[in-house]
Structure 1
């Protein structure tokens, strides 16, 4: 079928075709479709010339007399009018010749073949009524807009749709085999409840995935998540100790994001309930919270393995976005007071060589072991300094000054360049550098890119964003699976490679894709989209199971063993960043939204 339902076959009785098909159709059929060659053979050359002229006269007049009136349609069509829509075999996923087919890949329609939804002018735009199909996607009842955001081109649109299919595969199997559990084991088809969430089934994946479902226009799925949260997410049902940090970035952050997007106050009320439940962890002489709390007994403590039973820098420094927004939305000043006390202590304490060590004692307020990293234990502290300034509408000058100074000193003490020219941040311990960078630190490329326009030396920050992101991409490129290792090392004969057993896993992590997304938005260099697409295909090839997605234990093996865990952040972060990478800039505009360290978007306050 052609546009407007016309048949595109060679029958001369068929209705006339739209413009982009007319030329191809008549070029194939030629004059013989209108004049019999057998009759023309009996005519003298002069008659042939006359008939030839008559033919062109008829063809010219039919263009004006018999074409259908499409003027009303032309006003409403977009850029797909002159280009057929993506679909069919010619638009299947393109794989390099040496890449394995995607297991379980299906090119059938998924109900997501209509317009691509997004966020325009700070408002979310879910799918329209044409997005039904077999998934039955419908806009949620409530205060949302009905406009849509188009993707730049057909290929990018197709890639974005594939990410939505990946989300559906992850979500549907979680629903089928682990509903209510914190995470899914996709190989053994059962729930997974890691200790960071306590012993109860607390629906971490449901809360973490809700805003991604909303952004992708999967409204039936979002409503199912919303209903479970309303009925089942209760602090009174918790059992055991939970991580204050994970509870904040996943639950409180996820609930606040769902509220900001949907304006459903139930989410705000639940976030308030969750934050109130962990307040006892802040009852220390310094106001620096403990790492874990038993939500029933209200007893809290730090991890036994932490230096001197200290609190962790990345954990105490990754509360500001959520608690500042929660305080503003609820009018409860207690949340703002807690985070301001932490910030002020960190701003005023002496710092060795201007660095922020990863361990700090909540009783004395003093640093523990002088270990500094941009990866595990340190990472999101630096992220939240800059993002707190952005979120405040660029008014939180304390946060910006702390960020600028911290990044300057980290570069002076920890930035290294390998023999092959790759830049990386080593880990600093008592004046010595370990030449290792975690996958967790791969967000730093995007952080540099995001903050470059506001830096004293924007060119330097842009360069750092490009170079750190390139290093992380190189760690992916060097593996058999094209997935990145958990940690990369640098030595005489090693460049961005995991060399120890614990280095070699891929846990469905998002940090590299976060940098691809931000660097694409800030530079428009197409390589970031290509790198993201390479990674998406690698995930499909090596992480996709029949019943979800699993991490793998060794990215350097051509047939890696799965770890049988579909992390909740895979739905919250990894797939969200890939989706946004293939979306236009007005889909979750970085001028109007700030993403927390779990990729939960919060609206910027009074954006310029």
Structure 2
């Protein structure tokens, strides 16, 4: 018998070519070889036509799918053990798969069983993930280093710097940080103690709201029940939750934040609700608060909720000019203006206070409609003739003409000017139109409205039909911080002029606090030969936990580091604790000139969003919510500056 008849036909000589193909490919072997070739062809075509990543040709989902499968394999862990037969020593040495008695082994049953179990495990995990609607949190933005080597793997540290996942020494690498949104203790023990006092105030206010009014819009801290102003309509939309969430996060109350966050996800839904809401208040408190939480945390749930609410405000813009109405029924989509507002006009401070939120929303959703609404408002305003360069508080949305000639830096006008400046800053100073409008508006306001009392106090008067009224609202006290902030970004001579004016106005507003019995400021104060910075009418003497004076303290502290602003802020803390704190939270007072003022039994949502946040930041390090990286909307919700802050998170 020849050698070729003794050796198995599948055997290959280690030093020579395979034995004759004719002898190799006997009938069984040819059939087997045919099946193998057919299997390879099917595998190749299956890869092309049945894998969704290759079929669609989309690169990014392909990468995501690979990671998803990898994550599932990690979850399966020890359960995924392939029961492969052991290899013979000779075959291991020769680098060949195990074969017995001249035949290829059948697939091991355990291998098939484990593969089936793996597939079932993955399908179960996917179903549970959908059912439980797990959090979708965007990763912290990665900031590339100019000195880093290509391909370096880095992990983000808690302080925002990066650590290379290698053995290389990176001592010489520059520190790259993300914006600070938590922490920020001041180095001085006394200041740290004062900040901790403010933090405890937030805890007291929040805990009582959670106990007595959870899910309601606001709290009645004396009556121990919920409260809702007319601006929220008839619904329970958790205004205090949405308004207070970013403050909780910044202060590090993570358990409270988590509970509030979950309430928003599960209960904040306007679908099917028929209620009449203030477009302005819904935008600055709800849309602004949700967008701030999205920017700070990266939780995409907040972005989707902000979009959900903003979309329901859009019908209010369906007017002949595109100037929105003040009120909208979110169930029917019908909108209207207040009957008292100068023959049904829209209000300057309301339709002029949408740009920060709407422009940002377009950038992070890719939906241009929100930015288009703002552009239309700007176009209409710019076309109007302005009396002496001033902006009246009323504009008719049908005709596009000004209403009653009332001009104020306080109620009805205030935040329009704030948003001109901050729209410029938010755009990383690329929105030249907003800058030009702000500078022109301030030039006119300073020339026509700024006055000085006999005692040397500087203030913004109001103008009605061309005549000055020497009254300044508490709401107008934000202008001290606004002018100083704007001045730091303008060139001379406006720079020095605006900063000095901001300081002077803030000093006047502090005097309105200091000249009251409670050391809290009235809703409005007047100037005459007989009085300075004091309220005259009973409906001007109340204080409802407003933040504007403290806001200016905070901004001017950050810009100047003049210790007086922290001292004034601490005076406000002491006054709040003495006259506004009750067992069930914090309340406003009806007469700041009374030694024992009557309390109004309302804890406003903006007390959580603004007053306490500004006080906390006043006693924090400058890096915590830095003014170089964030702008605050008019409800004190920080929004990131484009191209400067990696938390901008645009599409």
TM-score by length of 2: 0.71
Q: C-alpha distance in 2, partners of 1:469/1:147?
A: 28
* Paired residue secondary structure (2:312): helix
Residue equivalent to 1:257:
292
1:572 is the counterpart of 2:609: yes
Give the alignment of 1:113-152 within 5 angstroms.
Answer: 148-152=183-187
Q: C-alpha distance in 1, partners of 2:264/2:374?
A: 26
- Tell me, yes or no, if the aligned pair for 1:199 and 1:240 is still in contact at 8 Å: yes
Residue equivalent to 2:524:
487
Q: C-alpha distance in 1, partners of 2:158/2:586?
A: 28
Q: C-alpha distance in 2, partners of 1:346/1:395?
A: 20
- Tell me, yes or no, if the aligned pair for 2:181 and 2:624 is still in contact at 8 Å: no
Please say which structure displays the higher CA radius of gyration: 2
Q: Deviation digits for residues 69-118 of structure 1, max 9, x if unmatched? A: xxxxxxxxxxxxxxxxxxxxxxxxxxxxxxxxxxxxxxxxxxxxxxxxxx
Which consecutive unaligned segments of at least 5 residues does structure 1 have?
1-120, 127-142
Q: C-alpha distance in 1, partners of 2:275/2:641?
A: 35
Residue equivalent to 1:174:
209
Q: Deviation digits for residues 494-520 of structure 1, max 9, x if unmatched? A: 100011001100000000000000000
Q: C-alpha distance in 2, partners of 1:341/1:417?
A: 38
- Post-superposition shift, 1:418? 0.4
Aligned partner (choices 520, 531, 544) of residue 581 of structure 2 = 544
* Paired residue secondary structure (2:639): strand
Residue equivalent to 1:343:
378
Residue equivalent to 2:631:
594
Give the alignment of 1:362-511 within 5 angstroms.
Answer: 362-456=397-491, 457=493, 458-511=495-548
- Tell me, yes or no, if the aligned pair for 1:159 and 1:533 is still in contact at 8 Å: yes
Aligned partner (choices 243, 250, 268) of residue 208 of structure 1 = 243
Aligned length: 474
Residue equivalent to 1:554:
591
- Post-superposition shift, 1:323? 0.3
- Tell me, yes or no, if the aligned pair for 1:182 and 1:201 is still in contact at 8 Å: yes
* Paired residue secondary structure (2:244): helix
Give the alignment of 1:27-66 within 5 angstroms.
Answer: none
Q: C-alpha distance in 2, partners of 1:500/1:492?
A: 17
Q: C-alpha distance in 1, partners of 2:430/2:193?
A: 40
Residue equivalent to 1:318:
353
* Paired residue secondary structure (1:591): coil
RMSD: 2.0
Q: C-alpha distance in 2, partners of 1:124/1:254?
A: 27
Residue equivalent to 2:93:
none
Structure 1 runs of 4+ aligned residues shifted over 4 Å read 123-126, 143-148
- Tell me, yes or no, if the aligned pair for 2:222 and 2:584 is still in contact at 8 Å: yes
- Tell me, yes or no, if the aligned pair for 1:548 and 1:566 is still in contact at 8 Å: yes
Structure 1 residues 176 and 602 mapped into 2: Cα distance closer, same or farther (>3 Å)?
same
Q: C-alpha distance in 2, partners of 1:502/1:381?
A: 25
Aligned partner (choices 577, 582, 585) of residue 622 of structure 2 = 585
* Paired residue secondary structure (2:601): coil
Q: C-alpha distance in 1, partners of 2:532/2:183?
A: 44
TM-score by length of 1: 0.76
Q: C-alpha distance in 2, partners of 1:207/1:253?
A: 9
- Post-superposition shift, 1:550? 0.2
- Post-superposition shift, 1:148? 4.3
- Post-superposition shift, 1:308? 1.4
Structure 1 residues 276 and 125 mapped into 2: Cα distance closer, same or farther (>3 Å)?
farther
- Post-superposition shift, 1:430? 1.1
- Tell me, yes or no, if the aligned pair for 1:205 and 1:568 is still in contact at 8 Å: yes
Residue equivalent to 2:126:
none
